[in-house]
Chains A and B, each alone.
Chain A
Amino acid sequence: MNDQTEHYPEGRQSAMLKVSGLTHRVSLETDTLTILQGVSLEINRGESVAIVGRSGSGKTTLLGLLAGLDTPTEGTVELDGAVISKLSEDERAKLRAQRVGFVFQSFQLLPALTALENVMLPLELGGHEAPEKKARELLERVGLGERLTHTPRQLSGGEQQRVAIARAFASDPVVLFADEPTGNLDNRTGQAVSDLLMALNHEQGTTLVMVTHDEHLAARCGRQFNIEAGVLTEPDTHTDEEPVI
């Protein structure tokens, strides 16, 4: 395993995410399963990072820990200056509401709400002054200006993911976590969705942390990490260049 701090000495750039010695274990009926083992990494503001690995390699668990959806067994995660592994569940929720956006493989739209309402939801929860106006703008930006009143069931998979992307950017997050954002989509639609994601990310200057097993998508990120059996490595082929959009 590489020593990440060697490549990104403290203070070189302001870090959005600092992870050190992250280990995660779950207790099963008979024994304990180690899902992540001593993961350390640092991601800077505005960077786009892909974590690539096979099914069961631990990448989704890592994403959950980075985003503060779960707490690690050992180690610390610092997100935008806050040590989230030390925060209470509710403090983490508050942090997520203010600074974090999500895009999921299975879209996770509320079936009871229309496209517009799904995008408005985080805005309303965050106390935004004009949630509907902003939600409309975002939906127009993702090309769904005509589908505002449609419910998820009336939208195709690609359209649903575009609504989810609009929702993710609605609260102006400083960091966006994406879990296999094209995993449920065909190649062409997946391509369109990832184009949109990258473009919005670039426009908003958001830090992007993406988990995927799609190497093409991963290649569009500034940096890539591999994860295998819970151990994170950064291949030597990485570049520090601006991501290709």
Chain B
Amino acid sequence: MFAELLQYMLSGLTIGAIYALAGLGFSIIYNASHVINFAQGEFIMVGGMASATLTASGVPLPLAILIGCGGAMLVGVLVAKFAVERARNASTVTLIIITIGASIFLRGVAELIWGKDFKRLDAFSGETPIQILGASMQPQSLWVVGTAGVLIVAIGLFFNKTLTGKAILATSHNRLAAQLVGIDVKRVVLASFALSAALGAIGGAVVAPITFSYTEMGIMLGLKGFTAAVLGGLGHGPGAVAGGLIVGVAEALGAGYISSAYKDAVAFVIILAVLLFMPNGLFGKRGTERV
């Protein structure tokens, strides 16, 4: 009984860690530009696909991840520069639609480059399952959770300790004021897209051995990441992380104890409930209507 629960928790935390990274990506971009970037899932896809295909052609894994990460950052900057920035004065809904368009475009391009089939990436440190109190987990799960943890701490430090990070934070609090004190807001937006893309790509690379990578892997991961970000309060970093873990665990428990058929529904029931009863999420600030 306990082993069963533990098994569900472990599965949930693993996938939840990826949702957390995706959610964090949503929050960073939302903060900097008030855009909800639905191409976040595609950043994950680029990371996963690049690392899987590059290692398959003989590139060492760390370098492959790095290249994938760089590629995703470039894609992120291009999306920001040529899709989002050009429609700067458009309404939020328009911007969201633009990012959805960008995500469809990216999937198409990826399909042209990598084809439609699934790519396999070997687990980083073997596939011998680790037994914990009757439950078992793949060693890759540790990589996923560990990498997510390190990245989350690094992002926290980046925002609070470095000048660039503080500039992004300042922009998120008050764009006009930030501009007035000499922060190049345009570059902040570009930096935030690059940062989110990097987070997504690394997430994609570490999760690829578990999920396999294919050009459509980003759709569901992106949506779940969005759920995580909304659950934690859009624009709230730690909230997104907590949201991701909650969604992941809720899904696993739902599949285990209720029915596996409703696994994906769990995430979306959560988001509906949050939007109805706590529109600002678990940790979000109370929104103020500006007139």
Whether A associates with B in a native complex is no
Q: Interface of A with B (CB < 8 Å)?
A: none
Q: Interface of B with A (CB < 8 Å)?
A: none
